[in-house]
């Protein structure tokens, strides 16, 4: 099966909804999912829980998840809850 890349923009006003969409799109993904966080200022506890689910599902499906445009504040939150090593970061 050929690998494909799914790209999604994360809207800062609908982070949870966008992450739910990403979870659903993982079912059909076979290569990489890239989430564009460039408009996101910070993430809350609910978003971090969804990102944890996303990482777990990606591991199950052997799909890489890349985060693009993550700011320092969001990266620190991911690092604090030990999620940073489960994603690849792109500029």
> Angle at Cα 35 formed by Cα 73 and Cα 1, nearest 5°?
150
Mean pLDDT in consecutive groups of 10 residues from the start of the chain, 91 residues: 76 94 86 94 96 95 94 97 96 83
Instruction: State residue 2's pLDDT score.
Output: 46
What is the model's pLDDT at position 15?
95
Note the pLDDT of residue 3.
60
CATH label of the domain that carries residue 20 = 3.30.750.24
The strands making up 88-90's β-sheet, listed across from edge to edge, are 5-9, 32-36, 64-68, 88-90
State the total domains in the chain. Answer: 1
Predicted confidence at residue 91, as pLDDT, reads 83
> Global pTM?
0.89
pLDDT at 28: 78
d(CA 23, CA 14): 14
Range of the structural domain that residue 62 is part of: 5-90
């Amino acid at each position: 099966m050929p690998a494909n890349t799914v790209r999604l923009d994360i809207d800062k006003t609908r982070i949870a909804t966008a992450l739910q969409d990403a979870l659903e799109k993982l079912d059909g993904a076979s290569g990489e999912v890239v989430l564009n966080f460039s408009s996101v200022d910070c993430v809350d506890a609910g978003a971090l829980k969804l990102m944890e689910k996303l990482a777990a599902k990606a591991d199950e499906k052997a799909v890489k998840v890349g985060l693009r445009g993550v700011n320092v504040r969001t990266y620190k939150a991911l690092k604090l809850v030990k999620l940073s090593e489960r994603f690849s970061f792109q500029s």
